Amino acid sequence: MANRDSNRRRTSGKVSTWPPRDAVRAGSSADTGVSVWSSWVETLTSWLRAEAGPGRLLPWVPVAFGTGIALYFAAEREPVASVAAGTAAVLCITAFLARRHPAFPVVVMLAALSAGFATAALKTARVAHGVLARPMFSVAMKGFVETHEERERTDRFVLRVEEMDTPQGLAKLDRVRLSVRKGTAPTVGSFVELKARLQPPLSPLRPGSYDFGRDMYFQGIGASGFAMGAIRTIDAPRPGGAYLRYVATMQAMRDAIDARIRTVLSGDSRAIATALLTGRRDAISAPVNDAMFISGLGHVLSISGYHMAVVAGVVFFAVRALLALFPALTVTFPIKKWSAAAAFVAAAFYLLLSGAEVATQRSFFMTAVVLIAVMADRRAITFRTLAVAAMIVLLIAPEALVHPSFQMSFAATLGLVALVQLGMPNLFASPDNSQVARAALWGGREVVMLALASLVAGLATMPYAAFHFHRVTPYGVLANLAAMPVVSVLVMPAGLLGLLAMPFGFDGVFWRLMDLGIGWMVAVSQWVAALPGAIGRLAAFGAGPLTAMSLGIIALGLLRTPLRWAGAGLIALATLWALTTPQPDILVAGDGHTVGVRGRDGKLRLMRTAKDAFLSREWLAADADTRIATDPSLTDGVSCDDSGCVVQASDGATIALTLKPEAFADDCARAAVIVTSRQPPSDCAALVLDQDTLSRRGTLALRKTAEGYAITAIRPRGADRPWSPAIAEDEPQTPVARPNVPAPPVDVTPTESDLQLDD
């Protein structure tokens, strides 16, 4: 009977279908269509029920939670934290009460989304502090030095301000980040007085680009700049507190490690060894740093999930192997759990030693969840583990969601966990006498697994690297295959042994072993970076395609039914969307000193009244332009004199940068767009972008349309966020006069390593 009710049955030796073909032919086409549609609906419903089954919703909770955080950061004005928290509380209670209702999956996702929104709003309210609105010169300050980091050409430190000559009407700053000449930064924990030039936190360099000012806000920093003259250490009016003593102790430990490494290694080897052990990564030379990122090995320079996993793994297996030497312990006690506990302690120490930045915190939490699962006799590498780690990070630091470190890290981890769930550990699982087994015996399994892991992680992180850094790494798998085994087997273990041997004075040999591995890694990165097509540039695209790609990656990783292939389709559509994103025809810097105009050949031309290599690099990279900031072709067709500059756009229109009032007569008559810090005449026919507009709206991107120019600003009209406050209507917009004081040769601009590129 069961066979007769099936869709296929065998009758008289022949295969027949159910319903019979004659019956289908006899029915109307409308009936057939309804039947097919009903079948599809039933199938889709069964898939959805399977995806919402017991235990399947947990990995989606951090996805909904993160969506709420993303919505918070997308708001133009600051939400009311109390209202957001109240709404989240109501929805969470509703989800608890509806836990046995069929609508529970929908309600719990809405509750998680609202909870993410409220968490971000409450975190912003908790860290609220003053943000500098306009440049200030020769500001006298006193305060405690909280952090100190070395860079290639300068040093940089964060000052917790205790006293400051603040003009009336300006908010008091809690912390400022200052650059000084290399080797002149004060020690962490000291109380100093100095004078400094301050500038507001760096705004996005083009609409849609990364907001360094938002990062600084959540770090409690309200301004950046550089110290002028001598920095004097004086007696503190009061103790700095327990936190300052802690950071001073950890900084002294990092300095001691760096000093010991410095006695054996030098140059980039010393800088990379210090970066791997202490997190101080800014002393690496620009050529090596660029080669590492171009080749796809840049993730090695930032302490991330890989480093934390290696540290925990080395300690775990070393302790377990040591305890296994004693049969009595092996039989009587759970040495596996003891080993996991020792690895947990080692990972926690590594977290503190490396500065406990957000990227490292995320890595530690992920590693800690895995080790706790081992101690609790639970499976360690699962989607639940990943979900718990993501929730911990987002609860503590919701701002991490918009950071490339978090995005790339969890995308890569999601891909790797999905690979494990699909059966990667069973690779080469075949009879011992087979050719496959012999290949596994000779290391074939490890090579293939490493290649698969590198490929999956590289593909998963590619959208985020393209969005934030406007490039892809075509040879990333090759570089990782060649370098990462050496880093895992030689560099990191040697570094750990060096730390253990330091108190006994036998650490020199281990730093030399690190040098061998680092030399190989640098050689691989430089070789790969020199290959044809290694620099894969991709023009900037908006948050829409990135969001669609993220949803596609999540669907591919988390879904288990054929619905997962909708994720692949979503990624394909998002990729097409990203590649067809129109680029701006004109870019205008927020200070009005640089204007980029797209010429007839489709490339940017720059009109500049001040040199800003960092801005030029960002604009060129976002345009998928491989030229450097000093390329003479950037000024082809640009005509300048004392009154200003003009250049023709791709449509033949004239774009002017007007410096003096007497130039308005010609520019207003001939130009389509005028950028100026002067007051234009009221009857000027051109589109005028003056100081008032730029000060209020920041950097602008203009795109030519049939109706004129569509303008996109980094601060849309009405936008007002704590890290980018709106300028009041009565705020004076005239530029502050710059005193005739020579600026020291220090670099106050952020670098790619400031983004803590992670894996």
pLDDT digit string, tens, across residues 30-70: 566 667 777 888 888 888 887 777 778 889 999 999 999 99
The per-residue pLDDT for 488 is 86
Determine the average pLDDT of the residues in 627-634.
88
SS (H, E, C) 160-220: EEEEECCCCCCCCCCEEEEEEECCCCCCCCCEEEEEEEEECCCCCCCCCCCCHHHHHHHCC
* Residue 18 pLDDT grade (very low, low, confident, very high; cuts 50, 70, 90): very low
The per-residue pLDDT for 1 is 43
Computed over every residue of the chain, the mean pLDDT equals 84
Instruction: State whether the Cα torsion 709-714-719-725 is positive or negative.
Output: negative
Instruction: Say if residues 195 and 170 touch (Cβ distance below 8 Å).
Output: no
Determine the average pLDDT of the residues in 642-664.
92
Kind of pairing between the strands at 223-233 and 471-472: unpaired
**Tens of pLDDT along 418-458?**
887 776 655 555 555 555 555 545 555 666 777 777 788 88
The per-residue pLDDT for 722 is 92
Q: What is the pTM of this model?
A: 0.84
Measured CA distances, 670 to 446, 546, 609, 663 (Å): 67, 40, 21, 11
**Tens of pLDDT along 306-352?**
788 888 888 999 999 899 888 888 888 889 999 999 999 999 998 88
Percent of the chain with pLDDT strictly greater than 70: 87
Ranges 123-132, 183-192, 283-292, 295-304: which has the least confidence? 295-304
* Short-list 220, 283, 230, 225, CA closest to 255: 283
Instruction: Say if residues 270 and 137 touch (Cβ distance below 8 Å).
Output: no
The per-residue pLDDT for 432 is 53
Name the residue ranges covered by the structural domains of the chain.
Answer: 60-126, 136-240, 543-579, 586-713
Check pLDDT > 50 for residue 743: no
CATH number for the segment(s) 136-240: 2.40.50.140
Token representation of residue 75 = 């708001």
**Tens of pLDDT along 371-426?**
998 898 887 778 888 888 899 989 999 999 998 888 988 888 888 888 877 766 55
* Residue 360 pLDDT grade (very low, low, confident, very high; cuts 50, 70, 90): confident
Check pLDDT > 90 for residue 626: no
**Tens of pLDDT along 212-268?**
999 999 999 999 999 998 899 999 888 888 888 888 888 889 889 989 998 999 889
Distance of CA 603 to the CA centre of its chain: 28
The per-residue pLDDT for 382 is 80
Kind of pairing between the strands at 671-676 and 687-689: parallel
Instruction: Say if residues 90 and 107 touch (Cβ distance below 8 Å).
Output: no
Ranges 35-44, 556-565, 577-586: which has the least confidence? 35-44
How far apart are the C-alpha atoms of 465 and 458, rounded to whole Å? 10
**Tens of pLDDT along 477-516?**
888 888 988 988 899 999 999 999 999 989 999 999 999 9
Distance of CA 471 to the CA centre of its chain: 14
Measured CA distances, 88 to 64, 84, 92, 95, 390 (Å): 13, 6, 6, 10, 19
CB atoms within 10 A of CB 741: 11
Check pLDDT > 50 for residue 629: yes
The per-residue pLDDT for 426 is 57
Structure-model confidence comparison of residues 14 and 581, the more confident one: 581
The per-residue pLDDT for 399 is 92
DSSP code for 295: H
Instruction: Say if residues 518 and 491 touch (Cβ distance below 8 Å).
Output: yes
